[in-house]
A and B are shown apart, each in its own frame.
Chain A
Amino acid sequence: MAKEIEHPRPVADWETRGYWEGAGRHELVLQRCKRCGSVQHRPRAQCAKCFGPIEHFVASGRGTVYTFTVTEQNQVPPFRDAVPYVLAYVELEEGPRLLTNVVGCPPDEVRIGLPVRAEFRTGADGFGVPVFRPA
């Protein structure tokens, strides 16, 4: 079995800090527009559809695999030591598709449509990195 990915820590600015801090509390934080209701990811200071004000909410953490690839070659550490690993878009129940890793099962068992749930890799920085495993 390959090593688990030692995720490079995210760099936050004030628009994205809430997302990473939420993940540090094991919460998947998304944004919703208070004017048009659009749910958006990645986080921004305003709604990208209507420039309206946004609010944050905690998503369910449930979704399905939209597409994926089993990465067999990556020459950059730390990923070099973690191949093969699964890079995927997970479509959340709330709509947005997140680029992420699917963990917790052999790469061969990942399929498009596979139900998954979020878990979090927290670091000393207080941030969490959301990844997903079969539900």
Chain B
Amino acid sequence: MTLSRQVAIAGVFEHPTRWAPDKTEFQIMAECARGALEDCGLELRDVDGLFAASMSMGAMGVVSLAEYLNLKPRHLDGTNIGGSSFVAHVSHAAAAIHAGLCEVALILYGSTAASNALAIGTGMGGGRDAGASFVSPYGLTTVGSYALVAQRHMHVYGTTSAQLAEIAVTMRRHAGLNPNAKMRKPITVDDVLSSRMISRPLHLLDCCIISDGGGAVIVTSAERARDLKKRPVLLLGCGEAVCHQEVGAPDLLSIAAKQSGAQAFRMAGVSHDDVDLCMIYDSFTITVLATLENLGFCKPGEGGAFVSGGRIGLSGALPLNPDGGGLSSNHPGMRGIFLVIEATKQLRGECGERQVLDASIALAHGTGGTLGVAHSGATLVLGRG
């Protein structure tokens, strides 16, 4: 039996903080758990499935988190596939709930990336094992891995820095409507192009910000969700994928979104025209452009034109990241959970000034890892219940 429309997002909470030097990761997660439980009217004792990943949770991190929360769930999932993890956690939770392994899944993220001064984009050195040694001698940065894709895209399709900048400008405009967003002062295409180069062709303002923050999502059966406080948001479709260097001939312009998106659309039984808004992981401007192409919202090479002319703005044909995204609202190291939270709030109509009018279907896509080297992708198609 299909998973589509069987499981719902019942509660969400995005921590309003962007700077929390006085908090720990687990403390932020606990505050988010409380917020999401209040959102849907459930209690901590109702939670029987725990899903989490973070910048510092190691191999048994989810076990430590269960202890911190004093939870003894009957289903545990510490999947960490990078920033997309929490998008994948929703589909893992849906499968577990549908199979009867748990009934109320709590998905958590918390981070003090900014107050710990984590230099995520340009400071995370490669590993020191035999596999990492094919990368670590050469000075790959996270930004650099995305820049390799941007350079190739420009070469093959003639995409310009000004087109990429349109994405950053749009995200900043949206952030201006989000009182919790970290960067709200409007910027122009020229501001992006004249910001300092980090890894050519990506400028500082092509890169997401670094903040503190966290979030929580509660997933349960569609049936149970109907009896809770808020209107349920149904999981219509989901998909996951991975891209890597294969045996040495990666196509850098074909990213994980192509596979995960196709699966999610197929499961959902909806078409691109049915999607009212997109939550796309915007680690860098190129991530958005490549994701839109690979999800099939436009043809390969047409992404530059697609994101121009206001199409991805709030009143455009495909509003994208109304919260301001990682480029302007928040990016505490991993951002996937915020894609799910904002999509849910938009489908409930709770977003005030930044509300996409009459949104009934949303797509969320997370990218995790280093785009041109090794990355994961996870897609959700969500619908108003």
Q: Are A101 and B155 in contact (CB under 8 A)?
A: no
Chain A residues closer than 8 Å to B148, beta-carbon distance? 67-69, 87-89
Contact partner of A112 (CB less than 8 A), chosen from B124, B155, B246, is B155
| Chain B residues whose CB sits within 8 angstroms of the CB of A48 once the complex forms | 246-247
Interface of chain A residues 1 through 32 with chain B (CB within 8 A): 5, 7-13, 15-16, 20
- Complexed CA–CA distance, A42 and B134 (Å): 8
Q: Give the segment of B17-25, B135-143, B317-325, B343-351 that binds chain A.
A: B135-143
B158 in contact (CB, < 8 A): no
Across-interface contacts of B155 in A (CB, < 8 A): 67, 112
- The docked-state distance in angstroms from the alpha carbon of A101 to that of B135 is 10
Q: Which residues from B are CB-within-8-Å of A79?
A: 139
Q: Do A42 and B131 form a contact, CB below 8 Å, given A70-B197, A96-B249? A: yes
- Cβ A99 vs Cβ B134 within 8 A: yes
Q: Is the CB–CB distance between B152 and A67 below 8 Å?
A: yes
Count of chain A residues near B, Cβ 8 A:
45
Among A11, A20, A42, A72, point to the contact of B245 (Cβ < 8 A).
A42
- Nearest-neighbour CB distance to chain B for A85, whole angstroms, equals 6
Asked if A71 is at the interface (CB within 8 A of a chain B CB), the reply is: yes
A7 and B125 alpha carbons, distance in the complex (Å) = 12
Q: Give chain A nearest CB distance to B319 CB in angstroms.
A: 31
Contact of B151 among A40, A67, A72 (CB under 8 A): A67
Contact between chains at A74 and B152 (CB < 8 Å): no
Known: A41-B248, A67-B148, A67-B151. A76 touches B125 (CB 8 A): yes
6 interchain pairs, CB-CB under 8 A: A10-B130, A11-B128, A13-B130, A42-B248, A69-B202, A82-B139
The distance from the CB of B69 to the nearest CB of chain A, in whole angstroms, is 34
Contacts of B149 in A (CB 8 A): 67
A112 to B155, CA, bound (A): 7
Are A67's CB and B129's CB within 8 A?
Answer: no
Kindly state the separation between the CA atoms of A107 and B197 in the bound complex, as whole angstroms.
13
B249 touches A76 (CB 8 A): no
Q: What residue of chain B has the Cβ atom nearest to residue A48's Cβ?
A: B247
Closest chain A residue to B252, Cβ basis: A67
B136 x A66 contact (CB < 8 A): no
Within 8 A of A (CB), among B152-197: 152, 155, 196-197
CA distance A13 to B132 in the complex (A): 11
Q: A69-B199, A75-B119 are in contact. Are A96 and B137 (CB under 8 A)?
A: no
Question: Given A49-B247, A69-B151, A76-B123 in contact, is the A99-B140 Cβ separation under 8 Å?
Answer: yes
Interface centre among A13, A66, A73, A82 (most CB of B within 10 A): A73
A101's partner among B128, B138, B373 (CB-CB below 8 A) is B138
A100 to B248 CA separation, bound complex (whole angstroms): 13
Is B315 part of the contact surface with A, judged by Cβ < 8 Å?
no
